[in-house]
Structure 1
Amino acid sequence: MATLEEIEARLVAVEQQLLLVRQDAAAARVLAGAADRDVSEFRQALNAHTKTLNALRETQLEHQRETRDGFAKVHQGMNEITGLLTQLIEQDRK
């Protein structure tokens, strides 16, 4: 059977280990809190980037529609010019 001194020594060792475990737990809580803040900040940045990209997409789609409309008007204008030139050439032949 263990002597009183051995039991006391073991108790002191356990108390020292418990102190280290508590310190480690406190450090782990601090790190977890920092990681949580980092993730939150990353999420906010990601949401902001997503909103920016969505706005850019809408702008690009609008510009694409405007460009198509512009080219359609140019094509119509070219057809009118071609028609007028054709009329002039036919009048010139007569």
Structure 2
Amino acid sequence: MAKSKDLEPRVTALEDKVDELSKQVRTSQHDAAAARVLAGGADRDVAEIRTEIRDFRKATTASFNAMREDMTDFRRDVEVRFGQVDQGFAEMRGKLDATAAGQQQIVTLLDTLIAHEKDKPDTGSADSSKFD
């Protein structure tokens, strides 16, 4: 009988231990299920972020390409306008050169006229005093 008295507390202890282990298994199963749900959510989040990054990259690339085209157009317009300014300066330079040449002709004519008047003898007329 000593064995039967010794057996009952051992069986009770084993039953308690099995109950405890069963609770731990159920808790682990719940934790595993929750972890699977969280992992699935994380996978969806990662997929969404990848899509958003891909869309952002496409939008950024499109924006840079549009800006590059705008800068190319702007540079082309500036070059055309600088060409127009250069042409305007060349036209003005031509006009100023023509004006200077005309003024030089006037100076030459005046020098010739003055020299011609100095070579004339003084007759005492009123016309000779015009250039003194």
| Shorter-chain TM-score tier | 0.7 to 0.9
Deviation at 1:61, TM superposition (A): 1.0
- TM-score, normalised to structure 1, is 0.82
Deviation at 1:7, TM superposition (A): 3.0
- Greater relative contact order (Cα < 8 A, sep 6+): 2
Deviation at 1:75, TM superposition (A): 0.5
The yes-or-no answer on 1:36 pairing with 2:36 is no
Distance 1:71 1:5 in 2: 96
Runs of 4+ in 1 over 6 A off after TM superposition: none
Distance 2:61 2:89 in 1: 42
Distance 1:88 1:16 in 2: 104
Partner of 2:116: none
Calculate the aligned-residue CA RMSD, in Å.
2.0
- TM-score, normalised to structure 2, is 0.61
Aligned length: 94
Q: Unaligned 5+ residue runs, structure 2? A: 1-9, 106-132
Q: Unaligned 5+ residue runs, structure 1? A: none
Q: How much identity, in percent, do the aligned residues show?
A: 20
Partner of 1:61: 72
The yes-or-no answer on 1:79 pairing with 2:58 is no
Corresponding letter in the other structure for 2:33: R
Distance 2:31 2:77 in 1: 69
Partner of 2:104: 93
Corresponding letter in the other structure for 1:87: A
Partner of 1:3: 14
Tell me which moved more, 67-76 or 5-14: 5-14
